[in-house]
């Protein structure tokens, strides 16, 4: 995988906070920032996938939810919980 340089200008206070967060995780500031950007990118892609699913199946329908309401409508609540015997 090829790499490219990205140069950022930030104030000392922000850099100090980034150093502290990275040090807590045993990471360099560069690795911490890249990991944070990758996580944010994943969150955006995941939200886009959820939105697309809702457009396909209809508003209020999310995979994994019970469709136990009248007429099979999604109630937004999980299905019944059965006690362990």
Q: Give pLDDT tens digits for 44-81.
A: 888 888 888 888 887 666 555 554 445 555 555 555 55
Rounded distance between C-alpha atoms, residue 46 and residue 26, angstroms = 27
Q: Give the 3-state secondary structure of residue 25.
A: coil
pLDDT at 27: 95
Rounded distance between C-alpha atoms, residue 39 and residue 32, angstroms = 11
Token pair recorded at residue 40: 């944010």
pLDDT at 81: 56
Write down the pTM of the prediction.
0.54
pLDDT at 79: 55
Per-domain residue ranges of the chain: 30-60
Q: Give pLDDT tens digits for 10-21.
A: 999 999 999 999
């Amino acid at each position: 995988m090829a790499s490219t340089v990205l140069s950022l200008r930030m104030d000392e206070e922000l850099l100090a906070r980034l150093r502290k967060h990275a040090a807590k995780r045993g990471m360099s500031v560069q690795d911490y920032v890249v990991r944070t950007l990758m996580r944010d990118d994943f969150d955006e892609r995941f939200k886009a996938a959820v939105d697309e699913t809702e457009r396909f199946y209809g508003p209020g329908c999310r995979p994994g939810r019970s469709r136990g309401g009248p007429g099979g409508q999604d109630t937004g609540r999980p299905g019944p919980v059965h006690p362990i015997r």
